[in-house]
Amino acid sequence: MDEIIFGVVREVEDDKKRVLVLIDDIEKLLKQIISSDECDFIFYKELIDPMKDAWKKVSERFNDLKNNTINTNIEILSNHGLTGSEIHFKISVINHAGKQFYNYLSERAYPLANRWLKKLLEALDKFLISLFDAVGGSGAIGEYKSFMESSIDDGIWIY
């Protein structure tokens, strides 16, 4: 699985662009995870097919979220902590969890990879809550991500 570095944009000060790139990165991550051959080691097996079926519908909603973000005034994004040092901090937390997840996954250390995936999804959830509060739209993406998090198999990896 190729590592995703979240929220990277070339235009250093374009916070709206950074949020839009982060939305794209979240979509890539969710698609990458459910399409992975390692899916069987991450999720409870009986939940994988329903998760993949639901993804087909949820993935259609990312364009609406991006359009809502494009049409939202930067002041509103700022009021929800989606600009400046606040968005940089959020992206730093997301990237830290993502790096740990990908590192442990590449080592096939699934118990630790699963633990860090949960942390990554929790961080993304907090970002999505701020974003939905700012731009409106369907919470289906956030709910899907939350149910994906609840589907992570951590019961058999006890140390």
- Residue 159 placed within a domain: no
Q: Which domain holds residue 22?
A: 15-150
Residue with tokens 């097919």: 49
Sequence-separated (6 or more) residues with CB below 8 Å from residue 84: 15, 78
Q: Residue 4: what are its φ and ψ, rounded to 5°?
A: -105, 130
- Residue 78 placed within a domain: yes
Tell which residue, 140, 117, 145, 142, has the closest CA to residue 130: 142
Please count the structural domains in the chain: 1
- Residue 6 placed within a domain: no
Question: What tens-digit pLDDT sequence spans the chain (159 residues)?
Answer: 777 777 765 555 688 999 999 999 999 999 998 888 887 888 888 999 999 999 989 998 999 999 999 999 999 999 999 999 999 999 999 999 999 999 999 998 888 999 999 999 999 999 999 999 999 876 888 888 889 888 988 765 444
- Residue 42 placed within a domain: yes
- Residue 157 placed within a domain: no
- Residue 87 placed within a domain: yes
The token duo for 71 is 């049409």
- Residue 20 placed within a domain: yes
CB 118 within 8 A of CB 150: no
Model pTM score? 0.87
- Residue 98 placed within a domain: yes
